[in-house]
Structure 1
Amino acid sequence: MVLKVDVKSIVLEADELKIRKDKGKPVNIKICDLIGCQSCDEQSNSLSSLFVTPPNIVIRYIAKGQNYKWTAETVEVMGSKEECEALKNEINKKLGQEKERPKKLAVFINPIGGSQNSVSVYSKVITPLFKAANISCDVMVSERPKHMIDLVSGFDTASVDGLVVVGGDGTLLEILNCLLTRVQKEAGLDYDQPTCKLKPLEVPIGIIPTGTGNGAASGLYGNKDVVTAVLHIIKGQTNYNNAQAIYSGGKLVSFSGGVCVAYGLFSDIIYHTDRNRWLKRARYVVVPINVLLFKRQRQFTAKVTLFPMEQNTDSKDGDTEAAGREEAAATEGIEAEFSSNLIGVASFGIDFLSAATDSKLDFVKAAQSGRQKDGFCLFINKHTSRTKFLTHFFQLMTLSRSAFEKDFLSTHSVHGYKVKVLSHDESPQANSEEAEINKMLDVDGELIEIVDEEYEVWNHMSIIKFYTCW
């Protein structure tokens, strides 16, 4: 709904814009929640201007609703041109003093992710909001698989205030891997060593969720709403998130943006989903159901070594992270499980174990809790009946506490773990599809090949700076 007011009804104070209305309560808008103020286009040739007095300026601001959803609202201001221009200049002067707000952004768009409408969404929804906030953008659109890596690798991040990813978790993963690896190389760090304390990214990143999987956006903004994500970026506030780093064959093979690192059933689902692209978006429903209902669940035996998260380790200071990890690795008390009849091992950046309740999970609170801890949650699934597992799987969709309280599910809070697959219930033939699947690890919805079916995952605190007010 557009609010139409006279310029004389607006009072601009130090921290607030107050709008008096003829009827109803006044509207009070915090300066930090203003998007911008612009002059209206000339409408002298418009037929409507003969009957309706056009506004002189338009004020856009952020309204905050339920479930963390934000909207961009409009105030049309009429009155003398001089008073309106003076008000516009004062508003934009105050917004210019907001040091956190970005003035120039680099936007990386994946045009084929999700509903394949990212370019259209950017043009129709995102661009007008950035324009209203006086933010200029360098826009790059990927044209082929892995093209995003080339675009990011050749981009000078120092030339902008921040980066914006228009896509999903897979697009974010490509960009994070490229940027984080580049930063470590430039710093001369031996980043292939899990005990190496990594250098954080200095450039902030915003995610506008237009992909298939948008788990990272849910943790940052509380939902998967495009407008909400854009408004968080406009406000410019940032928070550092942790990242899981995955190592195999003596090398760093990938980072995770905090969504999921999984071996077994979940990587199987991703594998088969990726190979049924002819189903388009329907494959994300059809393939998982087919795997869960009709395919045999492969079982394996593995040695899972856990590095438990220390109690009372909530801290924003990651300076002792590497030293503590080395100490833990050198002491007794590391729990090693030789487990048979496993169907999956999965870790998550969101702190499900402490945040899950019998009601709907609050992603924002879970993400806030997780980023304060030198650790994450690890789930080890053992084989059970298909009926029990299906019940568990669909409970995971609601992320209620009951989903994690199963006798076939072992849960742990760790800051690192190692997995060595020892054997499978059926030995696949060389070069078969089954043999290929056994080498695959799911990282945020993307498949990564591991060496000798062995890998390890470690937490690195506060190394990714995201645009988020939460």
Structure 2
Amino acid sequence: MREYLPTCNLEGIDGLVVMGGDGSFNQCVNGLFERSQKSANVDYNNPEAKLADTMLPIGHIPTGTGNLISGYCYGGCKDIETSILHIIRGKERKFGVTAVYDDSKWLGNCCILLGLGTLSDMVRYSESYRWIKTYRYLVVPAIYFSIKTVPQFKAKLTVKKRDGSVVFTEEELCDLLIANHETFDPNEYFGSKTWYDDENKIMKYHLSSRYNYWKNFMSKLLKGQNYVKPDFVEEIRAVSMKIEILESNMSKTSDGQIKLSLLIDGEYLDLITSALDFRLKEPLIRVFSSL
């Protein structure tokens, strides 16, 4: 979908409708985003560029595994018929994305959640277990933490706050998660805030045992709103963040470059790099929503 949309014939098309999950929606967002920027002559590989709105609105019919994007589009609702009615009415709203760059090259946009480290590695590992559908969220973590080595990396972080202040740190982590504030938690943000009011939520997982990480993962998965963050998880807020990996037990190429699996909205992207740039962008993704 991401490769098809930038070049396909969209003449006479009023909107796109995606049947699938968050990964399918993300592919359509990125494919349409790339096409829209090229049409508007925007250099979208430049992190400082003023981006154009997507040229068509996108509707989501939640038939995937997670369907978290429905929380933004339809107020937390994941019902198929309700989603279709929102699309038929034809009303729209917009949300911002977190754009990812590698050496000033655009890699993709995140609508919900970005991950680098343990979670992204586990998602990559779980691809062979898709046949058990949602049960893989319970089965795969137990298998993964029994046989796999938890990724560990030392990184230099450059975090920019909403007020313009910049914080530099050097930390040892096993996971780094970036939640796009507009779509990740509809109960907290829906209808009450805009992109200009907040920052992305960043969770830094400091080094811990495999058992503690597994216990925390299952607690968050099962307890939902009653989840209590453990001591080795630190939460911060930012509008942008640069990360440079200094050392890592992750696999490397023959010339020493680090091989990364970057989690983007439930899917992973294999990279060979040691530096990434994450930036929260203004609302530009048009979606069908009556709310």
TM-score (norm 1): 0.56
Query: Which amino acid in structure 2 is aligned with residue 242 of structure 1?
Result: G
Provide the secondary structure at the position in 2 that maps to 1:337.
Answer: strand
Residue of structure 2 equivalent to 1:363: 186
Residue of structure 2 equivalent to 1:100: none
Residue of structure 2 equivalent to 1:238: 92
Q: CA deviation at 1:459?
A: 0.9
Q: Is 2:251–2:259's contact at 8 Å kept on the other side of the alignment? A: no
Q: CA deviation at 1:346?
A: 0.9
Residue of structure 2 equivalent to 1:457: 278
Match for 1:339 among 171, 179, 193? 171
Q: CA deviation at 1:429?
A: 6.0
Match for 2:180 among 323, 326, 349? 349
Flag the 1:245–1:410 CA change in 2: closer, same or farther, 3 A: same
Flag the 1:388–1:280 CA change in 2: closer, same or farther, 3 A: closer
**Aligned counterparts, 1:50-449, within 5 A:** 149-150=3-4, 153-156=7-10, 159-221=12-74, 222-256=76-110, 258-277=111-130, 282-310=135-163, 328=164, 333-340=165-172, 342-350=173-181, 363-369=186-192, 371-373=194-196, 375-397=199-221, 398-400=223-225, 402-403=227-228, 405-424=229-248, 426=249, 428=251, 430=253, 438-449=259-270
Mapped to 1, the partners of 2:227 and 2:273 lie a distance apart of 35
Query: Which amino acid in structure 2 is aligned with residue 450 of structure 1?
Result: L
Flag the 1:376–1:281 CA change in 2: closer, same or farther, 3 A: closer
Mapped to 2, the partners of 1:418 and 1:378 lie a distance apart of 12
Q: CA deviation at 1:197?
A: 1.3
Q: Is 1:350–1:370's contact at 8 Å kept on the other side of the alignment? A: no
Q: CA deviation at 1:215?
A: 1.4
Mapped to 1, the partners of 2:266 and 2:30 lie a distance apart of 14
Indicate the structure whose relative CO is greater, using CA pairs within 8 Å and at least 6 residues apart: 2
Query: Which amino acid in structure 1 is aligned with residue 284 of structure 2?
Result: I
Mapped to 2, the partners of 1:293 and 1:387 lie a distance apart of 9
Flag the 1:377–1:302 CA change in 2: closer, same or farther, 3 A: same
Query: Which amino acid in structure 1 is aligned with residue 216 of structure 2?
Result: H
Q: CA deviation at 1:190?
A: 1.6
Provide the secondary structure at the position in 1 that maps to 2:53.
Answer: coil
Q: CA deviation at 1:417?
A: 0.5
Mapped to 2, the partners of 1:351 and 1:466 lie a distance apart of 13
Q: CA deviation at 1:276?
A: 4.4
Flag the 1:197–1:420 CA change in 2: closer, same or farther, 3 A: same
Mapped to 2, the partners of 1:351 and 1:183 lie a distance apart of 22
Q: CA deviation at 1:269?
A: 0.9
Q: Is 1:153–1:179's contact at 8 Å kept on the other side of the alignment? A: no
Mapped to 2, the partners of 1:293 and 1:437 lie a distance apart of 24
Q: Is 1:371–1:461's contact at 8 Å kept on the other side of the alignment? A: no
Q: Is 1:271–1:437's contact at 8 Å kept on the other side of the alignment? A: no
Mapped to 1, the partners of 2:38 and 2:118 lie a distance apart of 34
Mapped to 2, the partners of 1:195 and 1:378 lie a distance apart of 21
Mapped to 1, the partners of 2:5 and 2:45 lie a distance apart of 24
% identical equivalent positions: 27
Query: Which amino acid in structure 2 is aligned with residue 235 of structure 1?
Result: R
Mapped to 1, the partners of 2:33 and 2:250 lie a distance apart of 37
Residue of structure 1 equivalent to 2:290: 469
Q: CA deviation at 1:271?
A: 1.1
Mapped to 2, the partners of 1:365 and 1:430 lie a distance apart of 42
Give a deviation string over 1:326-364, Cα, whole Å, max 9, x none: xx4xxxx41111001x11111111369xx9xxxxxx725
Q: Is 1:308–1:412's contact at 8 Å kept on the other side of the alignment? A: no
Provide the secondary structure at the position in 2 that maps to 1:450.
Answer: strand
Mapped to 1, the partners of 2:141 and 2:250 lie a distance apart of 24
Provide the secondary structure at the position in 1 that maps to 2:78.
Answer: coil
Query: Which amino acid in structure 2 is aligned with residue 226 of structure 1?
Result: I
Q: Is 1:248–1:450's contact at 8 Å kept on the other side of the alignment? A: no
Give a deviation string over 1:390-445, Cα, whole Å, max 9, x none: 34223322442643x43211111111101111112x364647xxx99842111112
TM-score (norm 2): 0.87
Q: Is 2:37–2:44's contact at 8 Å kept on the other side of the alignment? A: yes
- Give the number of aligned pairs: 287
